[in-house]
A and B are shown apart, each in its own frame.
Chain A
């Protein structure tokens, strides 16, 4: 059974701090790993990672994948209150590539 575990479950930081969110996974046939940001509504796509060691970057957010150790990290530098959200990690289902298995998410709160 595919499994995705995220840590920490929740995190409170001050504006300007840098945070690192973790996602470890177990899948039989790895294809990719996806990161989403969820505020009050549906998740919005952040990154899709398929290759080890190649950093994906978008503004203050970046992510990298380690296929040997089966994990990914999401970094947010110079956090802002608008970064407060739940960050979800997901992997496509082993049997059916279209289905996604989500982790429990990391709830990030950025305070002033």
Chain B
């Protein structure tokens, strides 16, 4: 149980275009989803927390107009990187938690490697 699927696993896009990444909880209802970014040889940095049906809470320094997060249903959250630039190239990972999960548990998706050229 507690499977989180992230799609796509990798994407290459041109500078200036937008990219959407999906995160789905397959066998539970994800009341809270988290989006992380990881640069090469660095740790995971939390970008934002989203609760189903409400606006995401962004961490300090993360531009909410650039990284649009939508958590419209209990099984799907999306992260859209708008007007992507090469410096946005990174590994993006989502994690999710649902009712009945301990508040310290986090189930991760497979991650999406974004390359902006």
Which residues in A have some Cβ–Cβ distance to B below 8 Å? 31-32, 34, 41-45, 48, 88, 92, 96-105, 107
Contact = CB atoms under 8 A, between A and B. Distances in A.
Contacts of A45: 106-107
Interface in B18-71: 32, 34, 41-46, 49
A102 B104 contact: no
29 contacts: A31-B104, A41-B9, A41-B110, A42-B6, A42-B93, A43-B108, A48-B104, A48-B105, A88-B43, A88-B44, A92-B103, A92-B104, A96-B49, A97-B104, A98-B32, A98-B34, A98-B49, A98-B103, A99-B46, A99-B49, A100-B34, A100-B44, A100-B46, A101-B46, A102-B45, A104-B42, A104-B43, A105-B43, A107-B41
Interface of B: 6, 9, 32, 34, 41-46, 49, 93, 95, 97, 103-111
Nearest to A105: B43
A48 B105 CA distance: 9
B108 A98 contact: no
A32 B104 contact: yes
B97 A98 contact: yes
Given A32-B104, A88-B43, A98-B32, A42 B110 contact: yes
A102 B44 contact: yes
Nearest to B59: A99
Instruction: Name, among B6, B9, B45, B104, the residue most crowded by chain A CB atoms within 10 Å (CB to CB).
Output: B104
Contacts of B44: 43, 88, 100, 102
Closest 3 CB pairs of A and B: A97-B103, A42-B108, A42-B111
B43 A103 contact: yes
A88 B105 CA distance: 15
B91 to A, nearest CB: 8
Contacts of A34: 104, 106
A48 B43 CA distance: 19
A45 B101 CA distance: 14
A102 B95 CA distance: 13
Contacts of B34: 98-100
